[in-house]
């Protein structure tokens, strides 16, 4: 078993990574939430990963898909917690992928103004990224993850054994986030370019490597003052594409990590347009994304101006267009990007023209 600490002082917790890690849930709950006398298990119908929190428990299921990340689902959960008699000293256990950990974590953050929760991540995306760091939230029609709270879990379990049943596109989604960490895990001047060598490690080490990178960033900037925003590398366009996919007739079918892969290449093209990186660095982004067996092509047609409107609402934005971009000092937050450059880069990437023609 690999244990990765998330060093947050009094809110510090452990991420446990390895085959069979879910069987240590009861011990983790007893250690992290010793006053708990009851648990609420939040999951989805198709997850099929039984867990034992070591306490009497009620199970709550949320709908499948990104549509579960809504305020109405959070209300349903909180009402269910109340009917089950869950107290402020008890614990919520989220069992599932990023959708489940996001919505269950937000429900826990708001129920009794803050109830402890523990994540049991069952997808690669959840294990390498979504379940760690305490960012919880839901979507609204105006954008993705615009309503939420910072609420750290009491612990996280990443059981790599349960990943064996994941369908191919869920693996691809997780690898999109892993590709992001290929750029965040190396400092400028380290003497080695980002690559897909992470995939050469045993699965538990792949997960633990990503967790360590994220844990270090979160420990340095828990509430996303600036440094933590680099964890959103590739996400500005990704979130815009995901928001656009919710609209009627969009015709977009993208998992989160697939959208991030597209966003990584887009961010590289934008950085080159702004003079931050050169052609070699753009090609490196394409090679890394390809090395993780991902595509940088948008599977459908989206109005460029519509994407820009979603980007302007991104949670990193400060009344401007804000991106996380590569540069001479590595990946960093860049505020005040000109809309003309954003649109021109969309055109460069996919052959879009102003007005949406293609």
Q: Which of 255, 256, 272, 316 is catalytic?
A: 256
Q: Which of 66, 139, 144, 177 is catalytic?
A: 177
Cβ distance 319 to 267 under 8 Å?
A: no
In the annotation, is 228 catalytic?
A: yes
Q: Which of 224, 258, 272, 315 is catalytic?
A: 224
In the annotation, is 301 catalytic?
A: no
In the annotation, is 142 catalytic?
A: no
Q: Which of 83, 113, 192, 319 is catalytic?
A: 113
Give the pair of three-digit tokens for residue 191: 């003497």
Q: Which of 22, 69, 119, 135 is catalytic?
A: 135
N-terminal to C-terminal alpha carbon distance within the chain = 51
How many angstroms separate the CA atoms of 139 and 69, rounded?
Answer: 6
How many angstroms separate the CA atoms of 117 and 137, rounded?
Answer: 14
In the annotation, is 113 catalytic?
A: yes
In the annotation, is 177 catalytic?
A: yes
DSSP character at residue 239: H
Q: Which of 22, 69, 180, 214 is catalytic?
A: 214
In the annotation, is 280 catalytic?
A: no
The candidate with the shortest Cα–Cα distance to 104, out of 127, 129, 83, 134, is 134
Q: Which of 212, 228, 273, 285 is catalytic?
A: 228
Buried b (16+ CB within 10 A) or exposed e, 3-21: ebebeeeeeebbbbbbeeb
In the annotation, is 235 catalytic?
A: yes
Q: Which of 66, 175, 232, 273 is catalytic?
A: 232
In the annotation, is 224 catalytic?
A: yes
Residue 65 CB: number of other CB atoms within 10 A? 9
How many angstroms separate the CA atoms of 242 and 221, rounded?
Answer: 26
The candidate with the shortest Cα–Cα distance to 174, out of 124, 213, 136, 138, is 124
In the annotation, is 14 catalytic?
A: no
In the annotation, is 119 catalytic?
A: no
Q: Which of 69, 144, 212, 239 is catalytic?
A: 239
Residues 6 or more apart whose CB falls under 8 angstroms from that of 79 comprise none
Report, as residue numbers or ranges, the catalytic residues. Answer: 113, 135, 177, 214, 224, 228, 232, 235, 239, 256
């Amino acid at each position: 078993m690999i244990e990765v600490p998330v060093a947050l002082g009094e809110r510090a917790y452990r991420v446990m990574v390895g085959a069979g890690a879910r069987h240590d849930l009861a011990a983790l709950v007893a250690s992290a939430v010793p006053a708990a006398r009851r648990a609420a298990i939040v999951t989805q119908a198709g997850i099929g990963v039984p867990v034992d929190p070591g306490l009497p428990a009620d199970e709550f299921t949320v709908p499948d898909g990104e549509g579960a990340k809504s305020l109405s689902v959070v209300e349903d959960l909180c009402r269910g917690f109340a009917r089950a008699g869950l107290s402020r000293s008890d614990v919520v256990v989220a069992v599932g992928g990023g959708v489940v950990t996001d919505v269950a974590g937000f429900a826990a953050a708001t129920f009794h103004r803050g109830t402890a929760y523990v994540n049991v991540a069952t997808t690669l995306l959840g294990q390498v990224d979504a379940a760690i760091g305490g960012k919880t939230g839901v979507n609204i029609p105006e954008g993705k993850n615009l309503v939420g709270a910072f609420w750290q879990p009491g612990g996280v379990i990443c059981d790599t054994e349960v990943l064996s049943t994941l369908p191919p596109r869920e693996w691809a989604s997780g690898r999109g986030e892993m590709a992001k960490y290929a750029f965040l895990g190396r400092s400028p001047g380290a003497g080695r370019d980002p690559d897909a060598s992470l995939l050469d490690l045993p699965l538990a080490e792949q997960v633990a490597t990503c967790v360590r990178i994220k844990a270090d960033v979160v420990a340095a900037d828990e509430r996303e003052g600036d440094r933590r925003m680099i964890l959103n590398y590739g996400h500005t366009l990704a979130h815009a594409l995901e928001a656009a996919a919710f609209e009627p007739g969009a015709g977009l079918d993208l998992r989160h990590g697939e959208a991030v892969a597209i966003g990584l290449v887009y961010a590289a093209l934008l950085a080159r347009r702004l003079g931050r990186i050169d052609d070699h660095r753009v090609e490196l982004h394409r090679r890394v994304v390809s090395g993780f067996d991902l595509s940088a092509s948008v599977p459908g047609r989206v109005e460029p101006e519509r994407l820009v409107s979603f980007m302007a609402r991104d949670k990193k934005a400060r009344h401007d267009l804000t991106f996380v971009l590569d540069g001479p000092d590595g990946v960093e937050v860049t505020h005040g990007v000109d809309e003309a450059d954003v649109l021109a880069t969309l055109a460069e990437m996919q052959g879009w023209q102003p007005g949406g023609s293609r």
